[in-house]
Structure 1
């Protein structure tokens, strides 16, 4: 498919091609991925309530939104691109500013636009009431980001905010394996502290709004299948951009353009479902739903570490089998 995209570029002028790819990006960001994820998340939450219990719905909701990161990473590995692991690790950075800054701004702006000033007052009131809840989620989100940053350094040898230099070699097997262990350590730390937190305030996980949740295996499978297809198209678009705009993108991301695109652009797009979940739950103005909204950062960041661990294990196994990778 990337060859087909390159052919479109070669057969049109630059403005037309940029317009087409920008339109694709807009459709992906604001319609296709959010719609497919909504279908999957709502059915997953309903199934969790039916089979696992009410207290498991919050983590199922926020873990389900990480399926785009999982699929992008697996597709990248199938294309022998180690840089795909940057998508879940990069989402830990995107989740922090999207859930704690962007999502509240969207909610407040929406209420201002429709004149519901009282809702803004209620939002500020519940936020002041739940300051410790906010601090807990912020601390855990930042902690998971620290684990992800360390794992990224193990896999690439560089900071995620530094362009990867020309001619950089893929890290050796021990480094990739260590990166995976760091991801696993982050997951274990999260579950340890969350278990204590749930004992103190179980109502935050039991009393969430469930109006949109439908226990449907069909919708879950359909939503998941659509995400696989959408992520495949997005992944091939990354490869096409890498080939077409290599010189320009190298100035921004260094030599490993594919990894850079996945860390910043891929992780941002794949974090949009979490943002949608956060916005919807901020709007409900209850403590349990506020917890679900902020867990779109903390629990999703933990899940991303789990995905990063899986990617590191798979990459390590394939390297042992003699299959080499590019960043």
Structure 2
């Protein structure tokens, strides 16, 4: 581990030319005292490291010193596709992203290395959504290992329908990170009582895996299985199945703008794409997909007086009753306060 850290420190100085002890400690996730010791060890081994003093100081390599120890290990090579998202890569057990990236940068000509470093400084990917507590995924590493080595797994899984706890034997085909949530795409080895017909790849939320056992038997991946294409088709079906109904509403100019922020993405997109030309009052009419009347009732109320439900009639009646109850309650409260 220390040898790997020393090499990473050396490659950092080689690719970025000058770094402070604090910057090195942050990159390598160690203490500043450890950086001091590592620099002393490299210097004792003959590496020409020089420390500049002052506010613009830091460590640098003298005389254009370059190391040729840039060959990738198997683990580092495996981590390269996830080099842009080091956090999720570490969760998957591919924790060699930094070393792999440094070795690649060190091998580039100076002009290309400068451009690659500049891109890293200016663009950052943060996968999780806002205001969400990340899922606890204690079995993610084992699942990723089973996917990689094509080992069958047996899981005890918590689902919403009854019975809530089920045991499944699965062929794990891939792992997907969607808005900070991890999903397993796997093919059951036996027909599912809830889904007649030959077993097809299904989606499992990894945080709901209660127990996991990696089996000794291997499986063959389905010929032609494309994880990205499968996930795209799945998300399209999921959205269509989740919003089977429709509602027609009117929106003020302010309501149309607020819909993009307050409504779920599927409804917000439909509000924008189905909106008619504005009428004399500036209002538009739009058709929104809805999960249910009760769900639409909650979502449309978010827009307040900037939205009017037209159809279905039961949705309009439900919102009317809510508005009437609110008016009565607030009028009563105002009278009481006087």
TM-score range, shorter chain: under 0.3
Larger radius of gyration: 2
Provide the TM-score with structure 1 as the length reference.
0.18
Q: Which structure is higher in strand share?
A: 2
Q: Which has the higher contact order (CA 8 A, sep 6+)?
A: 1
